[in-house]
Amino acid sequence: MKHLIINVLIAIIALWFLPLAGQAQQYNGTSGMVHIPTGEMHHEGDALIGAHFLNKAMTPDTGFLYLGEKYNTFDYYIALTPFSWIEMSYVCTERIHAKDEQTGHIKWSKDRYASVKIQPLKEGKYYPAVAIGCNDVLTSAFFKDKPDVQLYFTNVYVAATKTFTFSGNELGLTVAYRHFFRGYNAKWNGVVGGITFRPSFFPQWRLMVEYTGNEFLLGTDVLLWQHLRLQASLKDFKYVNAGLCLQFNLLGKKYRY
């Protein structure tokens, strides 16, 4: 009970500072920071179901326009790590199509995509964890040469992450190379990276700063009671993103974070 109260107090303190620091977990359910992937993976058997508020700064410059203006939206996802070396997720992102002039109702649709991430190299004492992955893998494979097909979130990447521990604190360094298939996302192409920090007194809490290729992003996340993950971030120091997810380990194992 005492441990629970301390956890809640620390979580409240952490959430209090969210507007300054933000929360983290990649918006599509795969492991990573906020907008960039890392070389790390979820634990084998981890299943996540969650939703994320996406500021208009997080969406592509095409496809998410209504009356010529970008709009805030949200996505929701389920993700699974069937083995320690592979993650899969399925994401739906809400889109506003148009307004029905007769009824006044907004027409909604969803952009759906699948993500796959594979870790060929686990982290060692002297070398980093390396992961490769792809968002929107199915349409990427079949329609990459057709300009009229929606590939709003399609990208491929390779990421490397090395963590260092000192006095129980954990510092992670990530460098990744990412390529989006469509020109309207080209601003996020190239070398990206970030730094994460987990304090020894509450390792379920993670602080991070990352460079997305176009802007900097501050974020934080916290895992409460081993199942509830909250996340938030500030993109370009002013655009708020936030989300939450439920996390379970289908093998029945318990992890601190």
Partner 1 sequence: MFHINTSSRYRSLFVGFLALIFLAGQPQAKGQDTSPGIDFFSGINFSFADMNFYRQYDVLLHLTPGFKWNMGNHWQLTGQAMIPIINTFGEEYKYVQIGAFNISKEMRISKSYLKATVGVFDMYRYGADLKAFVPLSDRLAFEGQAGYVGVLYFDSSAHLYKPDRFVWTVGGDIYLPRWNTQFRGTVGRYLYQDFGCEAEAMRHFNHTTVSVYGRWSGEYGLDGGFRIVIMLPPYHRKHRAVNFRPASNYRMSYTVMYKSYANCMYHTDPEQNERDGWFSRDLLHWGSHTMEPDFIITNKTEQQ
d(CA 203, CA 224): 11
Q: Check binding of 251 to partner 1 (CB under 8 A).
A: yes
The residue within the footprint of partner 1, chosen from 66, 74, 85, 90 (CB under 8 A), is 90
Task: Give me 237's structure tokens.
Answer: 């120091």
> In this complex, which beta carbon is closest to partner 1, that of residue 77 or of residue 205?
77
- Minimum Å gap between C-beta 103 and partner 1 is 8
The residue within the footprint of partner 1, chosen from 9, 110, 141, 200 (CB under 8 A), is 110
- Minimum Å gap between C-beta 52 and partner 1 is 16
Q: Check binding of 252 to partner 1 (CB under 8 A).
A: yes
Q: Check binding of 83 to partner 1 (CB under 8 A).
A: yes
Q: Check binding of 105 to partner 1 (CB under 8 A).
A: yes
Residues 11-50 that bind partner 1 (CB under 8 A): 45, 47
d(CA 109, CA 20): 33
- Three-state DSSP class for 24? coil
Q: Check binding of 80 to partner 1 (CB under 8 A).
A: yes
Number of residues counted as binding partner 1 (CB under 8 A): 19
b/e code 157-188 from CB counts within 10 Å (16+ = b): bbbbbbbeeeeeebebbbbbebebbbeebeeb
C-alpha dist (Å) from residue 160 to 148, 172, 175: 33, 10, 5
Question: What is the distance in angstroms between the CA of the first residue and the CA of the last residue of the chain?
Answer: 20
Q: Check binding of 97 to partner 1 (CB under 8 A).
A: yes
Contacts of 102 (CB under 8 A, 6+ apart): none
Q: Check binding of 168 to partner 1 (CB under 8 A).
A: no
Q: Which residues bind partner 1 (CB under 8 A)?
A: 45, 47, 80, 82-83, 88, 90, 97, 100, 105, 107-110, 112, 138, 250-252
